[in-house]
Amino acid sequence: MAKKTVATLQTGKTDGRSYTKVIKMVKNEKGSYSFDEKMVPNEAVQDFFKN
């Protein structure tokens, strides 16, 4: 079955393609890593990885 996450982002025919799923590894204070996962607009991908 198809996942509904992408379908809910689309308001028109191509609006869902303007978002990108990004995943970044973040090191916490204990020394282990966790993952920060978000859906961001294509223009904000570089800003997501700068922080």
pLDDT per residue, tens digit, the chain (51 aa), is 566 665 565 555 566 688 999 999 999 999 999 999 999 999 999 998 886
**Could you tell me the residue ranges of all domains in the chain?**
17-50
The structure's pTM equals 0.56
β partners of residue 35: 25
How far CA 13 is from CA of 1, 6, 9, 32, in Å, comes to: 20, 12, 10, 41
Is the torsion defined by CA of 12, 18, 21, 26 positive or negative? negative
pLDDT given for residue 7 in this prediction: 59
pLDDT given for residue 17 in this prediction: 82
Residue type present at position 16: G
β partners of residue 36: 24
